[in-house]
Amino acid sequence: MFQAKENKARWKIRLREVLLFFLVFFLWTTNAFAENLKEISTSDVRVLVDINGGGYSFFSKTGGNLVPCLYPSYWNSVSHTSKLTARIDGRDYVLGPYGTSPSSYSVGTNFIELYWTVDGVRITLRFSFPFSTVIEQRLTATPVDGRSHTVGFRILWDTDVARDDAARFNVVYGENAYPVYYETVYEGSNLPDRWEVYTGSLKAICFIKNFYVTTPDKIILGRWPGNNGTVWDAGSPGSFYGDSAAITYWYPASVFPGQSLSRNIFFRRFRP
């Protein structure tokens, strides 16, 4: 009887030790990850960036709440399900989540920059606010090896609006909006002026044709499953999409020593 009670007491002590270990480990990892997160914001929008891993997320300050634009949909989380690809001299390099972490970074009062050096080219990913309601995402490629290169970019965003991971798309030509029911590829003269991702009355806007942005060569609006496993070529036109994603392409172009090649795009805050 006494032995059974002693064993039970020891079991309880051991259980407390195990629980304490996991609690300390959780707090340590949470704090370590939090130290990697850098934030910039205006009165209308917020950008959160993991400076070590290269993940990021966009938020709108709507009705006193932070409304996410990318999955996952938590105020202190960055998207590790979105993907950035640089195509350099015909070879594809994934930068950030799924690929190479940034080598360094820079943070200012209204910008965050991440840096990679890949195959003789320095890549800069910059987030800033040209207007209080707008997030600019800019990619710049600069040769650092004295040689010419061809550089293109692809960005896959795992879209999520207010915790709706199956948020829907519209494309807008002029002032006319058209719903996107199935995965669709847009390029050339078929490119819209902008696309919208929405759930209910909440909507975010991505500008495609605008004086301030670099018009993409192609966009794909559709599904995240399937496309998430791709690096460059993607898309299943006509397929139904639930979990939604948007992909933007700027095809490779030449960049010479002493020059830089820059591509950018605008996101505007959510609006009812």
Domains and CATH numbers, the chain: 32-271 (2.70.98.10)
Question: What is the tens place of the pLDDT at every residue in 151-182?
Answer: 999 999 999 998 899 999 999 999 999 999 99
Residue 28 has pLDDT above 70, yes or no: no
C-alpha gyration radius of the chain: 22
Residue 110 has pLDDT above 70, yes or no: yes
Give the pLDDT score at 32: 37
Average pLDDT, the chain: 88
Residue 6 has pLDDT above 90, yes or no: no
Q: How confident is the model at residue 8 (pLDDT cuts 50, 70, 90)?
A: very low
Question: What is the tens place of the pLDDT at every residue in 208-264?
Answer: 998 899 999 999 999 999 999 999 999 899 999 999 999 999 999 999 999 999 999
Please compute the mean of the pLDDT values over residues 115-130 and round it to a whole number.
98
